Amino acid sequence: MNVLGISAYYHDAAACLISDGKIVAAAQEERFTRKKHDEAFPKNAIRYCLESQRVPRDGIDAVVFYDKPLDKFVRILKTHFAVAPRSLRAFLEAMPRWVKRNLWVRLEIAETLSELGFDAPRSILFTEHHESHAASAFLASPFNDAAIVTLDGVGEWPTATIGVGEGNRIRLLREQNFPHSLGLLYSSFTYYTGFKVNSDEYKVMGLAPYGRPRYAERILDKLVSLNDDGSFKLDMRYFNYLGGLTMITPEFADLFEGPVREPESPITAHTMDVARSIQDVTEEIVGRIVREAHRLTGRERLCLAGGVALNCVANGKLLHTGPFREIWVAPAAHDAGGALGAALVAWHQVYDKPRQADGVTDAMHGCLLGPEFSPEEIEAFLQSQNCEYTKLGDAEWAPTIAKLLAGGAIVGMFKGRMEFGPRALGNRSILADARTADSPAKINRWIKFRESFRPFAPAVLEEKAQAYFELPQKSPYMLFTALVSEARRTREEPDDPSAPLGARLARVRSDIPGVTHLDYSARIQTVSKRDNPAFHALLSAFQELTGYGVLINTSLNVRGEPIVCRPEEAYRCFMKTGMDHLVLECYLISKNPPGSTT
């Protein structure tokens, strides 16, 4: 039995296939079209899911869309009418998309499947937006029962929910509704600090440790009326997203003592302070909502989803402050994961199929659910490029790459199935030695072509994680931050916020400086032999060689592009950047003579 889940039309469109209860394929449309956060109906992702699993022409039992377009359309109409005539321009811009596209999901599904050579499904179903998020969190988790919290911009009406999961069922108990939204509050500050909404929120999070929370009290006094249970109201005088084409009003800029930062302009102390302030407020709100979820449900475990759940700093704080014993965050917590959640709702709740949860193993298969390419396909591609390469045998693959990394090389890694979700987890990654202090600057400047303040994540052997980090549980999907162990930190003077940014970035803060952020934190990926044996073998070989089972891991792409999907994209990324070596499955390509690095 095959159930296809789909998300589309807003950002991060995706498709996911569940076959006889197993999540067998999932991918975001952006990886195929090369348009970052592509919102278009995910024809390419659907083709991949169905063709890679050899689904027969008449083999689609159900297609499930991740929200209810008509309900969302009603919300948009009511919102525009409520603030008219101020909303006229936004209304005229939005209506053609709805009338021509967004309201015709059933027709789009049928036409796309026909174009791809498949019969119409036996059923077309629709879930609610936050129901999809909740399902992607709980029904894919290792837990048999848990509290569920979803947080994002907005679905139909809800912007946040508290629920509970038991066995193969989820129930949503409480919701907060539009326009009062934590996701939209954070995105308003993304806009104000000069970054791209629905794309660059993680930059605000990464910038926050450089600043001081001197506007946090002002946010809580002026913008947000916050209750003890985490519910809140926004003062809409400061926000323009109800009927405008921008996120904020001029009064918002006046409140924070400066105009909207121009994109790509220098980052000032003011920008850092604003970022720190909204991050602190977000952590406070999330903490109150989570405590209320614990009070309502009485559960010991928590599942999180929605775009706000990608805020790994807030997630890390929850790990250390409680009240939940364990937390599992949906790896694709954003809208792409809605495709997965929608399919899970159909399988478990519509068709009432049982669910097995052992408390340890999730259903995501390491999130390695995308396309893979055979050695024969890759060798044919390399030969078409007249490229010199070395073929590595199974026994020499990990030791050879570990030796290059230990020598200071930066290596692109393309192996196995592509990751689903926003994080590269070792299969479409750029890797470097975490012991090297200058690796972050080199990768940011010569490979990623991105802002210097951006930190890098460590990939660490799961069984060695607590030797490096104060991490109370595993973190396979890079969705929690934790402090570097105190024993590994350098004994220097505290960070000086008034010092130049370059000087602050250059300081060595631990014996793994490549992954130690300004506040001694790190966004951690724990790597298990079960989920990714090849990456685990590489980390083990690096540990055997150096005594350190940890590497810098960042996504294989350049700024503004999605993570690579195909060999040709990996090769193009390698050739136009400062990477030293590229691994394509068992093939090693080098820019420099053997034994040398840049």
- 175-198 tens-digit pLDDT: 999 999 999 999 999 999 999 999
Mean pLDDT of 541-550: 98
Q: Which amino acid is at 385?
A: Q
The whole-angstrom separation of Cα 576 and Cα 567 is 14
Structure tokens at 124: 């077309």
Residue closest to 457 by CA, chosen among 366, 380, 553, 333: 553
Position 128 pLDDT exceeds 50: yes
Does residue 189 belong to any structural domain of this protein? yes
Q: In what order do the strands lie in the sheet with 480-483?
A: 390-391, 587-590, 581-584, 411-414, 428-433, 550-555, 457-461, 521-527, 480-483
Q: What range does the domain containing 318 cover?
A: 182-328
Residue closest to 430 by CA, chosen among 446, 442, 416, 413: 413
pLDDT in tens, 195-217: 999 999 999 999 999 999 999 99
Residues 105 and 128 in one domain: yes
Mean pLDDT of 487-514: 85
For 516, residues 6+ apart whose C-beta sits below 8 A from its C-beta are: 484, 489, 509, 510, 522
Query: Partners of 303 in the beta sheet?
Result: 148, 328
Structure tokens at 593: 């003579």
The whole-angstrom separation of Cα 111 and Cα 117 is 10
Alpha-carbon Rg for the chain, nearest whole angstrom, is 23
Does residue 152 belong to any structural domain of this protein? no
Q: Which element (helix H / strand E) includes 146?
A: strand 145-151
Q: Report phi then psi at 78, rounded to 5.
A: -60, -40
The tokens 């009432």 sit on which residue?
Answer: 352
The tokens 């009070």 sit on which residue?
Answer: 295
Residues 15 and 79 in one domain: yes
Structure tokens at 520: 């001694």
The whole-angstrom separation of Cα 485 and Cα 465 is 10
Q: Provide the phi-psi class of 372: left if phi over 0, else alpha when psi is between -120 and 50, else beta.
A: beta
For 372, residues 6+ apart whose C-beta sits below 8 A from its C-beta are: 416, 417, 418
Biggest distance spanned by C-alpha atoms of the chain: 69
Can you give the pLDDT at residue 174? Answer: 97
The tokens 């929200």 sit on which residue?
Answer: 67
- Check which CATH number belongs to the domain holding 82 and give it: 3.30.420.40
The whole-angstrom separation of Cα 69 and Cα 401 is 49
Structure tokens at 286: 């999330």
Q: Which amino acid is at 289?
A: I
pLDDT in tens, 323-355: 999 999 999 999 999 999 999 999 999 999 999
Position 361 pLDDT exceeds 70: yes
Does residue 259 belong to any structural domain of this protein? yes
Does residue 333 belong to any structural domain of this protein? no
Q: How far is CA 9 from CA 97, 101, 528, in A?
A: 9, 9, 35
Q: Which amino acid is at 187?
A: S
* Residue 544, number of CB atoms within 10 A of its CB: 12
Q: Is 316 exposed, middle or buried (0-12, 13-18, 19+ CB in 10 A)?
A: buried
Q: Which element (helix H / strand E) includes 44?
A: helix 43-52
Mean pLDDT of 573-577: 96
Residues 75 and 98 in one domain: yes
| 400 close to 594: Cβ distance less than 8 angstroms | no
State whether residue 179 is helix, strand or coil. Answer: coil
pLDDT band at 595 (very low <50, low <70, confident <90, very high): very low
The whole-angstrom separation of Cα 450 and Cα 558 is 8
pLDDT in tens, 402-422: 999 999 999 999 999 999 999
Can you give the pLDDT at residue 498? Answer: 79
Position 522 pLDDT exceeds 50: yes
Mean pLDDT of 151-173: 98
pLDDT in tens, 287-301: 999 999 999 999 999
Count Cα neighbours of 242 within 13 Å in the Cβ-side half-sphere: 19
The whole-angstrom separation of Cα 480 and Cα 316 is 5
Q: Report phi then psi at 3, rounded to 5.
A: -120, 125
Structure tokens at 292: 């209320």
Residues 406 and 530 in one domain: yes
State whether residue 198 is helix, strand or coil. Answer: coil
| 461 close to 550: Cβ distance less than 8 angstroms | yes
Does residue 304 belong to any structural domain of this protein? yes
Report the number of distinct structural domains present in the chain.
3
- With vertex at residue 27, the alpha carbon angle to CA 363 and CA 128, rounded to the nearest 5 degrees, is 70
Residues 352 and 424 in one domain: no
Structure tokens at 587: 């093939």
The whole-angstrom separation of Cα 428 and Cα 574 is 12
Residue closest to 554 by CA, chosen among 406, 444, 462: 444
Position 109 pLDDT exceeds 70: yes
**549 alpha-carbon distance from chain centroid:** 24
Mean pLDDT of 249-278: 96
**439 alpha-carbon distance from chain centroid:** 23
* Residue 579, number of CB atoms within 10 A of its CB: 25
> What is the percent of the chain with per-residue pLDDT over 90, rounded to a whole number?
91
Residues 515 and 401 in one domain: yes
For 299, residues 6+ apart whose C-beta sits below 8 A from its C-beta are: 145, 146, 147, 164, 324
| 307 close to 201: Cβ distance less than 8 angstroms | yes
User: What is the pTM assigned to this prediction?
Assistant: 0.96
| 445 close to 452: Cβ distance less than 8 angstroms | yes
Residues 278 and 352 in one domain: no
Residues 116 and 186 in one domain: no
Does residue 444 belong to any structural domain of this protein? yes
Q: Is 54 exposed, middle or buried (0-12, 13-18, 19+ CB in 10 A)?
A: exposed
Does residue 526 belong to any structural domain of this protein? yes
Mean pLDDT of 97-104: 94
Residues 559 and 447 in one domain: yes
State whether residue 151 is helix, strand or coil. Answer: strand
The whole-angstrom separation of Cα 339 and Cα 136 is 8
The tokens 């209320």 sit on which residue?
Answer: 292
* Residue 243, number of CB atoms within 10 A of its CB: 18
Structure tokens at 306: 């929605």
Residues 430 and 573 in one domain: yes
- Check which CATH number belongs to the domain holding 566 and give it: 3.90.870.20
Residues 293 and 356 in one domain: no
Residues 56 and 118 in one domain: yes
The whole-angstrom separation of Cα 210 and Cα 279 is 12
* Residue 562, number of CB atoms within 10 A of its CB: 21
Does residue 209 belong to any structural domain of this protein? yes
| 127 close to 135: Cβ distance less than 8 angstroms | yes
